[in-house]
């Protein structure tokens, strides 16, 4: 087969620790950890043990990495897994045979997850990530702190966020990512020079940003920074709301719960079937369906590689990109499908590699100038600056100005580190997270998102107000109290904000 296929997985959750549990909050982290991160990392260990290398590019945002290493999150995750097993026990002793089968199945799954967590995750996520990077089974992609929508961010804070995010990766993993997943695949002309200055060699954009011509990476502007585009023809084969694999009738339904235990008892049954009418999930029906979808995907990749290679007269690159949380959390059978795909593609003659290996092996075309873009609705910025989130756009601008002005007054040339200034920057970065406007625009826990944005904005403002009015002890107390909840990025040093873009 000509060319190379590259899978890119983007792993991200906003900072959830100490900000609610249910229905939105830490529960989101523990569900994703149990259903996605545990099985995906276990799969990668198996692939590494079999000597496989350069299987895909794995983006892990600094804010997610911080939660996977956080002692509170680790202890709470262990409790969540134990609670999962208790809830399964409750279902297993029910008189209803379907709930008995559900409980027994979930009890075994919880036991396996507990064993895997105790064995591999008890010291946090960083040892896992370091080991996978060292084995060469994946390329690890970094990113900016707290996942901001970079094009709308003050350039000074944008530069700081990116550089500190890369430094955070080095501190946690002893590894310097050469590629990043730009939050929301968002881009504004000129950002390529900032990437080059920070040492970023490649990043992801969505297919329409390259006008659908994603068969090669493209240097951006006058830099050597390469933009790789997501191939929508292949990617939408998996993750399409109308025809994607996870919607098959036999797969476990994400949205239907057994409300007594919180377990998921039903299969999709049909796309228009109401939750109360869905049939019980039957794992024995699934294996053959997974195999059919693996074969279909492999065939699609082959067809796309051949067509794109013929079109451009040279071996093509095909990049499929997804959220990691799709595999397991949203699509229960996803991790099994993913491992079978990765093992079957080479058997079908398809070369598998990473973004880094694609760049190294010459899957790069002529330079381009990229437009303002994202991978959101409309492939523009409307999700993050549309009319429904203008109040958050204004909030972000006000908080950023207040934070930068205050930090400039607190730290100067030769000054000692200020924990007050550090916490101001930390809260400002959490305020401008891209997750909050996304959740509002998509009406997914919008009230939680607005509350979180305003909570971090309030923290920023009250620390700034105390600091600027000379109430140093009060400012230190406020900063310390907020740090109890938002204790991420402890290496962040506000003094590095001085001087603007370098």
Q: How far apart are the first and last CA of the chain?
A: 44
Give the CB-side neighbour count of residue 115, counting CA atoms within 13 A.
Answer: 7
Nearby residues of 52 by Cβ (< 8 Å), 6 or more positions away: 137, 342
Locus of tokens 């609705």: 377
Q: What are phi and psi of 498, to 5 degrees?
A: -65, 145
Phi, psi of 303 (to 5 degrees): -60, -40
Paired tokens of 301: 């990749």
Lookup result for tokens 């092996």 = 361
Residues annotated as part of the active site = 184, 323
Find the helix packing angle between 334-347 and 38-49, rounded to 10°: 30
In terms of Cα–Cα distance, which of 152, 206, 165 is closest to 432? 152
Residue 253 φ then ψ, to 5°: -80, 130
- Of the candidates 411, 468, 402, 407, the one whose C-alpha atom is nearest the C-alpha of residue 431 is 402
Query: How far is the C-alpha of 481 from the C-alpha of 475, rounded, in Å?
Result: 10
The two tokens of residue 171 are: 């501190």
Distance CA 199, CA 193 (A): 10
Spatial distance between the Cα atoms of 293 and 340, rounded to a whole number of angstroms: 10
The C-alpha atoms of residue 318 and residue 4 are separated, in whole angstroms, by: 6
CA–CA dist 394, 385 (Å, integer):
10
Counts of helices then strands in the chain (DSSP H, E)? 18, 9
- 371, 179, 172, 501 alpha-carbon torsion, rounded to 10°: -50
What is the distance between the alpha carbons of residues 356 and 201, in angstroms, rounded to a whole number?
A: 9
Strands (E), 212-276: 218-219, 226-229
- Rounded CA separation 323/459 (Å): 30
Report the alpha-carbon distance of residue 264 to residue 257 in Å, rounded.
Answer: 5
């Amino acid at each position: 087969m000509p060319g190379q296929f590259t899978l890119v997985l983007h792993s991200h959750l906003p900072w959830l620790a100490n900000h609610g549990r249910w229905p939105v909050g830490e529960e989101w982290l523990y569900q994703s950890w149990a259903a996605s991160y545990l099985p995906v990392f276990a799969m990668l260990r198996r692939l590494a043990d079999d000597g496989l290398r350069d299987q895909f590019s794995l983006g892990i945002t600094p804010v997610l990495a911080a939660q996977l290493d956080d002692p509170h999150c680790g202890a709470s995750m262990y409790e969540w897994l134990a609670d999962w097993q208790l809830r399964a026990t409750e279902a297993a002793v029910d008189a209803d045979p379907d709930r008995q089968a559900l409980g027994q199945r979930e009890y075994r799954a919880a036991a396996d997850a507990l064993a895997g967590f105790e064995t591999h995750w008890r010291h946090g996520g960083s040892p896992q990530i370091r080991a996978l990077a060292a084995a060469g089974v994946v390329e690890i992609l970094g990113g900016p702190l707290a996942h901001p929508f970079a094009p709308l961010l003050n350039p000074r804070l944008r530069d700081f966020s990116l550089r500190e995010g890369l430094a955070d990766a080095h501190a946690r993993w002893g590894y310097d990512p050469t590629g990043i997943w730009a939050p929301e695949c968002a881009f504004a002309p000129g950002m390529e020079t900032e990437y080059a200055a920070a040492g970023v060699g490649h990043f992801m954009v969505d297919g329409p940003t390259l006008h659908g011509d994603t068969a090669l990476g493209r240097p951006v502007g006058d830099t050597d920074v390469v933009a790789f585009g997501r191939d929508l023809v292949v990617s939408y084969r998996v993750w399409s709301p109308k025809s994607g694999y996870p919607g098959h009738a036999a797969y476990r339904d994400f949205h239907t719960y057994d409300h007594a235990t919180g377990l998921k008892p039903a299969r999709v049954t049909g796309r228009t079937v109401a939750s109360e009418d869905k049939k019980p999930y039957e794992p024995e029906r699934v294996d053959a369906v997974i195999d059919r979808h693996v074969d279909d995907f492999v065939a699609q990749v082959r067809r796309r590689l051949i067509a794109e290679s013929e079109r451009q007269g040279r071996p093509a690159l095909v990049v499929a990109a997804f959220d990691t949380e799709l595999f397991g959390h949203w699509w229960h059978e996803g991790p099994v499908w993913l491992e079978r795909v990765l093992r079957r593609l080479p058997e079908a003659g398809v070369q598998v590699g990473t973004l880094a290996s694609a760049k190294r092996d010459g899957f790069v075309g002529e330079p381009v100038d990229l437009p303002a873009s994202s991978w959101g609705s409309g492939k523009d910025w409307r999700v993050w600056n549309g009319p429904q989130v203008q109040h958050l756009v204004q909030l972000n601008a006000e908080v950023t100005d207040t934070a930068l002005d205050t930090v400039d007054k607190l730290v100067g040339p030769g000054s000692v580190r200020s924990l007050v200034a550090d916490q101001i920057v930390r809260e400002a970065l959490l305020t401008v997270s891209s997750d909050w406007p996304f959740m509002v625009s998509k009406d997914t826990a919008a009230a939680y998102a607005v509350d979180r944005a305003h909570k971090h904005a309030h923290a920023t403002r009250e620390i700034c107000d105390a600091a600027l009015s000379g109430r140093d002890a009060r400012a230190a107390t406020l900063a310390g109290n907020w740090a109890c909840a938002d204790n991420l990025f402890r290496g962040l040093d506000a003094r590095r904000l001085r001087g603007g873009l370098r």
